[in-house]
Structure 1
Amino acid sequence: MENSNIFDGMMGKVRTESAPSQLRITDLRITNIDGAPKHCILLKLFTNQGLIGYGELRDASSATYALMLKSRLLGENPCNVDRLFRRIRQFGGMSRQGGGVSAVEIALLDLAGKAYGIPVYQLLGGQYRSQVRMYCDTDVEGKHSGTQMGEALKRRIERGYTFLKMDLGMDLLFDEPGCLNAPLGFLEDVEKYSAKALRHQSGSIAPEVMRGRHYETFTIPHHATGIHLTERGIQYLVQYVREVRDVIGYEVPLAIDHLGHLGLGDCIRLARQLEPYNIAWLEDVAPWQYTEQYVKIANATTIPICTGEDIYLHDTFRPLLESGGVSVVHPDVLTIGGAMEIKKLGDLCEQYGAAMAIHMAESPIGCMAAVHAAAALPHILAVEHHSTDIPWWNDLAMGIANPLVQNGFIQVPDTPGLGISELNEELIREHLHSRKAGYWEETSQWDEEWSNDRVWS
């Protein structure tokens, strides 16, 4: 009887809510929110033991990319992360098309971490750092000067950020006579139907951008637009950067994004004149797949060249790395295929001597996925933070620090999974997307979706 009491006491301390070998996926659901900072699609994987895994699709994506995977996941053990990833990775693609696979991979890792009681970074091989540096992207709305951008960036520094980024490109020149050269009438069309012009207050792209010639305008690659900078335009942008540096100084790293759909020659001309201003990198100077264009610009300037947020799977970066076309890779965890692919890309960076920063413009779910991936990398410059000015952003997720970013860093949590215990459902309801599916609606219509998935004969 005494031994029985001892045994009963011991069993009372054993965790019984999670038996990893018996864990099974029972459901997949999504919801769409706006303004965090863009249209964000959140995902839940439900299990037979009550554990829920959180994932997120790439910003401004489509829920279909995840929903079509549901039938391939039901009844499976989410702890078999690599096995399930290999099953679904063929359904991912570049940019937002990688969002479904990436969201599921993150949710699988979250579930596996919760089942075994360990953080996601431990599933990726262990921890290299206990805090992750965040770089702060900064926008200034409306017509403004480089001095005004500098003041906005200075406020970031005062909040503790140690690495900065801003946009610089043809959007600044639409109202400046003589700065841009293009087929007559084309620039007006680009400006009128640009993503920024069509953003609703909620942060969504208006539906008309997806129709007719407006859609075609957005899908013209840089080299085919016929848009060029005039000498006056180049000097305007150089002066803008000079004004920024006059405010923030030259010690803090400053990266540049969104040059616009400019041809290679214009990027080279601009880059050479920006060299005195200590630019951390020039981002997305051409569509990522044009390796030779990246090589040409990389060889023409001393400014580091960066791309990668739209690249799916780590090995797709290899041509850019092998050729020397980039010196900074910039993957998004929610496009590349998830955290394991980031880890594999880190190995390629070591092989080819490239730096890595991580693109992140998503909710706290995507943020924590990026933080855990960065914690497991031998080397990382910084992870992007695009939501500093959104007062409710941090409140979307429970269990993480609030404020999450402190003095420009995020402390890596050692709690299970991503570190998110639950979502703030009331806040999610307040920010539901006005034109997308509702609040965690049931998805049984996807339970039996089927195709012959074999890609060989």
Structure 2
Amino acid sequence: MSVITHAQAYLVDLPVETHRTDASQSFLKQETIFVEITTADGGTGRGYSYTIGTGGTAVLAMLTDYLLPRLIGQDAGRPESIWRNLYFATRATAIGAVTSLALAAVDAAVWDVRCRNAGLPLWQLAGGAKDRIPLYDTEVGWLHLSADELVEGAKAAVQAGLSGVKVKVGKPSHVEDAERLTAIRTALGPDVDIMVDANQSLTAADAVRLARALEHLDLRWLEEPLPADDVAGHEALSRSTSIPIAVGESLYSAGQFAEYLKRDAASIVQVDVARIGGITPWLKVAHLAEAHNVAVCPHFLMELHVSLCAAVPNSRYLEHIPQLRAITKAGIEIVDGQALAPSSVGLGIDWDLDAIDDLRTA
């Protein structure tokens, strides 16, 4: 047994690496919530979670006041048991972002210990389906960029070997959105995947109109066109367009994904390991999607998602948004436009502990 004897949590603020805007918000900073655990046999684990600018101290309070005290005495080799114990102890605040983000940091730390004790990297212990995953780039497609800047950035991403680019939509007119995307498709040709993200900004009627205006561009997917809790709206939109509909970054439970899949309301699952509550439920959602013959293309957190994408057979893309370079010694390894699964034991993230200490805020 790897009995947990000590647990602590703290907050690190990371500035964004570039100006990021979409139809709903700006990425202000990354509040990075860390959890570190120690076990009686000398094992250690480090997990993390995040927000994009608000709520980090609330997540930290959930951890220090409620979750971490319950960790002491539990076996780090039993992530399912720990996750359920903590989840049911906080049912009054579940399902919700704060609880899920807190659970995710704990669960990642537990998996880190488990992998280290087994002498294996996460991607192998969690399934080991493949050793690499194609990348698409989001940094080139923010909403504030001009059409010329979008084209220039998209070309650079393709020249770097990436297979696709994602572009934000949400201009005052869907005609303007279509013109920007048409410029990119014309510049890249038919063989590069173009993803489109509306960040929950559209009404049901506007989503249908936008999809109709974009169908001729052969898009890889249309992401979060409607509010995440509008399953019926996504179901109707999916039936009205040939563009695959992607959802998941704003869903916080496996049950929410199950409802989308049952109703054929999404054909791309973008489960986020932090927002779903950790590695343990992430794997459940990925396998649920596999059972429905649906691809997994997770949201953000590429440094952790690269291992989870490698763990499961139905992953198709990893989103390229570098955000941990200020607190890591090395980034993910990229060869021919594909991210390689890390070979080091544990989560596979090469943390710079001195840099983390310098940026601690709470």
Give me the TM-score of the superposition, normalised by structure 1.
0.69
1:373 alignment partner, SS class: helix
CA contact (8 A) 1:282 1:305 kept: yes
CA contact (8 A) 1:339 1:370 kept: no
Partner of 1:227: none
Partner of 2:340: 411
Against the structure 1 CA distance between its residues 248 and 97, is the aligned structure 2 distance closer, same or farther, given a 3 Å change threshold? farther
1:26 alignment partner, SS class: strand
Partner of 1:83: 81
Partner of 2:71: 73
Against the structure 1 CA distance between its residues 296 and 258, is the aligned structure 2 distance closer, same or farther, given a 3 Å change threshold? same
Separation (CA, whole Å) in 1 of partners of 2:310 and 2:195: 22
User: How far apart are 1:260 and its partner, in Å?
Assistant: 5.5
Identity of aligned residues (%): 23
User: How far apart are 1:402 and its partner, in Å?
Assistant: 4.5
Deviates more, 1:96-105 or 1:107-116: 96-105
Partner of 1:448: none
* Structure 2 gaps, min length 5: 18-28
User: How far apart are 1:326 and its partner, in Å?
Assistant: 0.7
Against the structure 1 CA distance between its residues 313 and 142, is the aligned structure 2 distance closer, same or farther, given a 3 Å change threshold? closer
Matched ranges for 1:178-217 at <5 A: none
Q: Does 1:240 align with 2:220?
A: no
CA contact (8 A) 1:96 1:310 kept: no
1:138 alignment partner, SS class: coil
From 123, 137, 149, the counterpart of 1:121: 123
Separation (CA, whole Å) in 1 of partners of 2:134 and 2:204: 32
Separation (CA, whole Å) in 1 of partners of 2:38 and 2:215: 51
Separation (CA, whole Å) in 1 of partners of 2:73 and 2:209: 56
User: How far apart are 1:346 and its partner, in Å?
Assistant: 2.3
Against the structure 1 CA distance between its residues 163 and 139, is the aligned structure 2 distance closer, same or farther, given a 3 Å change threshold? closer
User: How far apart are 1:144 and its partner, in Å?
Assistant: 4.0
CA contact (8 A) 2:4 2:37 kept: no
Partner of 1:257: 197
Amino acid at match of 1:415: S
User: How far apart are 1:247 and its partner, in Å?
Assistant: 1.9
Matched ranges for 1:1-400 at <5 A: 21-35=1-15, 38-39=29-30, 40-60=32-52, 61-62=55-56, 63-67=60-64, 68-90=66-88, 91=90, 92-124=94-126, 126-139=127-140, 144-170=145-171, 173=172, 233-258=173-198, 261-360=201-300, 362=301, 367-387=302-322, 393-394=324-325, 396-398=327-329
From 337, 354, 357, the counterpart of 1:426: 354
* Residue-by-residue CA offset, 1:14-70 (whole Å, 9 max, x unaligned): xxxxxxx24423122223121255322232223344432111113334222333311
* Residue-by-residue CA offset, 1:59-83 (whole Å, 9 max, x unaligned): 3342223333111101222112111
Amino acid at match of 2:354: E
Against the structure 1 CA distance between its residues 86 and 108, is the aligned structure 2 distance closer, same or farther, given a 3 Å change threshold? same
User: How far apart are 1:134 and its partner, in Å?
Assistant: 2.3
1:418 alignment partner, SS class: coil
* Structure 1 gaps, min length 5: 1-20, 174-232, 438-457
Amino acid at match of 1:380: S
Task: Choose between structure 1 and 2: higher strand proportion.
Answer: 2
User: How far apart are 1:428 and its partner, in Å?
Assistant: 2.4
Give me the TM-score of the superposition, normalised by structure 2.
0.86
Against the structure 1 CA distance between its residues 306 and 420, is the aligned structure 2 distance closer, same or farther, given a 3 Å change threshold? closer
